[in-house]
Amino acid sequence: MAITTRDQLIDGLGNNSSRIVLDKASIASQAANTYVSLWRATGQPGQGAIPATAANCNHTTVGGVGFTQQTLPATSYGAYLEVVTGNAAMTVELHDRLVHMGGLNGTLTTAQTVGIDFLSITADNMVERIGDSNYSDINWWLEWYTATGSTAVTATVAVTYNDGTTGTLSASLAATRPASFALPLNGLIPAAGAGKFIRAVTSVTLSATTGTAGSFGVTATRPRMVIGCPIANFKFVSDWAQLGLPEIFNSSCLFPMVLTSTTSSGTVRGGGKIAHG
């Protein structure tokens, strides 16, 4: 079964839904026009742990939004979202956190193993959660858990593409990268890899020491809901039509990210509903 009519959607919203609660503290020391992961922000959902080796995330992972798992053919959909932010001109995104790893060291200049490959990941309903079989729905990030040093370096990210070929992405890391900064990798695919999508990240190699070890890692997500908040301290609402009624698959680990407009993530408060039917 799926929600295919307006009446089913209304019934799901009113009588068969899981509530989303967002209440995240602001994270300081950021830069405007950058992504900030709220995985480590305190509040609701609870603060996520810093991962070590590569691990799957699911609906029970601390840091994710919990919701009622459905028994097929019943399904779940992102049907309503309301958010107020402490900063103006903010974008708030809810992603399904698929797999993450951490513990990469800002002072090492040898290749540091990442070891995330979706070809071999099937647990936690991952085949459904990743979307298209060519991996085009997956967003890849370098995510910082504690700040690395202020020396500008280049991170060379070794990847495997959907067709099995390999390549490297070059990410310029200028100045200090603070905790919770998230650098998107998909846009760094070079011209030679045009039309390909990242299936796996093998390793990360820094061109020089940043001066501080810190801790960062690689995270794979799939975006599910987005809402714009152009005015601070004013609640903005998106209904099912504006959200696109995205399916929220069993085992999904929903968590918020923001695209900043200033030097902090700002407080993020609100909620919504995942409709079942």
**Structure confidence by residue, pLDDT tens digits, 188-246:** 999 989 999 999 999 999 999 999 999 999 999 999 999 999 999 999 999 999 999 99
Query: Would you say residue 208 lies in a domain?
Result: yes
* Domain range enclosing 36: 6-263
Give this prediction's pTM.
0.96
Contact by Cβ (8 Å): 231, 117: no
pLDDT value at residue 10: 83
Q: Look at residue 8 and tell me whether its pLDDT is greater than 90.
A: no
Domain presence at residue 254:
yes
Q: Is residue 270 part of a domain?
A: no
Evaluate whether residue 42 is within a structural domain: yes
Task: Give the count of domains, the chain.
Answer: 1
Which residue do the tokens 């540091």 mark? Answer: 112
User: To which residue do tokens 């089913």 refer?
Assistant: 8
In a domain? residue 269: no
Q: Spell out where 3-130 has E strands.
A: 17-24, 35-37, 43-44, 55-56, 76-85, 90-104, 112-117
For residue range 185-204, list pLDDT tens digits in order. Answer: 999 999 989 999 999 999 99
- Please check whether residue 57 lies inside any domain of the structure: yes
Q: Is residue 1 part of a domain?
A: no
How do residues 21-44 score in pLDDT, each as one tens digit?
Answer: 999 999 999 999 999 999 999 999
Q: Is pLDDT of 128 > 80?
A: yes
pLDDT for the residue numbered 113:
98
Cis upstream peptide for 184 (omega within 30°):
no
Per-residue pLDDT at 14: 87
pLDDT, tens only, 142-195: 999 999 999 999 999 999 999 999 999 999 998 889 999 999 999 999 998 999
Tell me: pLDDT of 75 over 80.
yes
Residue 121 in domain: yes
Residue 186 CA: distances (Å) to CA of 74, 105, 122, 161: 33, 22, 22, 11
Over residues 50-72, the mean pLDDT reads 96
pLDDT over 80 at 1, yes or no: no
Number of Cβ atoms within 10 Å of the Cβ of 258: 29
The number of CA neighbours under 13 Å toward the Cβ of 209 is: 6
